Amino acid sequence: MTEARGQGTEPGEGERERDRAATVRVFIALAPPDEAKDELERELRPAYDAYPRMRWNRIEDWHITLAFLGELPVATVPLLRQPLADLAASRGPLELALRGGGHFDERVLWSGIDGDVEGLQRLAADVRGVVKECAIPFEDRPLRPHLTLARARRDDQSSVVDVATGLTGFTGRPWRAERLHLVGSNFGRGPGPIRYRDIEAWTFGGP
């Protein structure tokens, strides 16, 4: 006998697609300028050749996450636009730099952030305050400023440690973070790589 819909049956592919279309995975971030990314890319070229099995992030997707909001209903995202625009208009650019490298649990490779880290922490706190004022629930973890570069495959964790060690002496040139980005990703929506896109971005307008 065929079970009626809603009596414990698994959702069909069409229903899963509709559910995915109704939500978007969202975070709020800063992005290094192309010159800073190019500089770090040149530093990483030997590692790209030596460790091709690592899951390297696309350079155009490099970002510094200020608040990760997770999966949100698409209809919720517009609530963030005006408050984030107002916040960006009230703040000046941040002087930052990429420096060194490290890893989380021997699985996630990152480059560190130098420069006005205190200002970065204040900006992140204000961004998270905006999210809370919009009554959007999220996991408010302490900020550990970094730029995620790659992830290890389950059978090859030593690669991340080796590349992180090689980045220890890297010191990038200073740059100005001049825009606040509201970003969406397709994470979890298929077998392909993660892709990010700006939902909107605002130029900092303060002194």
Active site includes 63? Answer: yes
CB-based burial of residue 177 (10 Å sphere; 0-12 exposed, 13-18 middle, 19+ buried)? Answer: buried
| 28: β partners | 67, 182
| E strand spans, the chain | 23-30, 55-56, 64-73, 94-104, 108-115, 146-151, 175-177, 179-185, 196-203
Sign of the alpha-carbon torsion through 11, 17, 20, 22: negative
3-state secondary structure of 81: helix
User: Which is catalytic among the residues 25, 37, 146, 181?
Assistant: 146
Contact criterion met (CB below 8 Å) for 54 and 150: yes
* Residue type, position 146, single letter: H
User: Which is catalytic among the residues 63, 91, 103, 181?
Assistant: 63
Active site includes 181? Answer: no
Pairing of strands 64-73, 175-177: unpaired
- Residues with a known catalytic role: 63, 146
